[in-house]
Structure 1
Amino acid sequence: MSSEKFTFRFVVPESAIDGLGHVNNITYLQWCLEAAEAHWLAKTDAELREQYVWVVLNHNISYKNPAFLGEEIEVQTWIHSHKGVRSERCYRIIRIADNKTLVEAKTQWCLLDGTTRKPIIIPQKVADLFV
């Protein structure tokens, strides 16, 4: 049931570097969240975004290799599955120069009604945008 990958690339900025000289672990998580938001924005219109909002239930992240200042990075994300009010989104962050995987991650998201902020079963019209 996986969706097509949504990707974006950028160069690692100085603000992402920690005291050990590589990208800070929390920065990878931020990049995952930014990718999820960008994917949602790319697939939906303003009306749909007012109707529904997503909240994180949990994150699972595995750090495979470090990234460094000035390296070109690609963040990939896709919907792995969904059921009821939940959706599992996967991420892979790679270094372009050698195609090494830096991070693999998954996030469990819950869909909320945009007005009541209560969980709502993922409607088919939303699922169809991603699968």
Structure 2
Amino acid sequence: MMQKFSLELTIQKEDIDDLNHVNNAVYVKWMNDVAKTHWTLLSKNHDLDDYIWVVSRHEIDYKSEAFFGDKITAKTWVGETRGVTSERFIEFYKNEVLLAKAKTIWVLLDAKSFRPVRIRENILKVLEPFK
């Protein structure tokens, strides 16, 4: 059974744009923060310091607005992972209302050379519960 990792966020004043709601660029920052937090948690008991992830593509659908002080829940899980890429899905909710949903394609790199490396079994095992 697929698990979803959740992270709670509170909208700060600096997250608000001229239209008085969360700026779209803030969602991109949150997507990175959620993915990084999740990966750090997943990989903490594994020797995976030789690898880093970089984004190659974001797709975001904005569904509803969020405002200063709102409490947001970000939920993420892993999609198809093969070759050098891995999909990650993230949904942002205020209570039960879907605010935005996103799909990001991440590329695995060697941490020293910054060249793409094939995602092998050691990483697949770490990601498996969230697929």
| Same fold, judged at TM 0.5 (above) | yes
2:22 is matched with 23
Query: Does the Cα contact within 8 Å between 1:6 and 1:77 map onto a contact in 2?
Result: yes
Unaligned stretches of 5+ residues in structure 1: none
The one-letter code matched in structure 1 to 2:119 is: I
Residue correspondences, number: 128
Deviations 1:43-83 (A, max 9, x none): 11387342100111110001000101111100111111101
Structure 1's consecutive aligned runs of 4 or more residues displaced over 2 angstroms after TM superposition are 45-50
Task: Report the CA distance between 1:130 and its aligned residue.
Answer: 1.4
Q: CA RMSD in A?
A: 1.6
2:110 is matched with 113
**SS of the counterpart of 2:64?**
coil
Query: Does the Cα contact within 8 Å between 1:3 and 1:80 map onto a contact in 2?
Result: no
Task: Report the CA distance between 1:115 and its aligned residue.
Answer: 1.8
Query: Does the Cα contact within 8 Å between 1:11 and 1:71 map onto a contact in 2?
Result: yes
The one-letter code matched in structure 1 to 2:120 is: P
The one-letter code matched in structure 1 to 2:83 is: G
2:49 is matched with 50
**SS of the counterpart of 2:22?**
coil
Task: Report the CA distance between 1:11 and its aligned residue.
Answer: 1.6
1:77 aligns with 2:76: yes
Normalised to the residue count of structure 2, the TM-score between the two structures is 0.91
Q: Identify the match of residue 130 of structure 1 among 117, 122, 127.
A: 127
Deviations 1:18-49 (A, max 9, x none): 11110001101111110000001001138734
**Distance (Å, rounded) in 2 between the aligned partners of 1:27 and 1:3:** 27
Normalised to the residue count of structure 1, the TM-score between the two structures is 0.91
Unaligned stretches of 5+ residues in structure 2: none
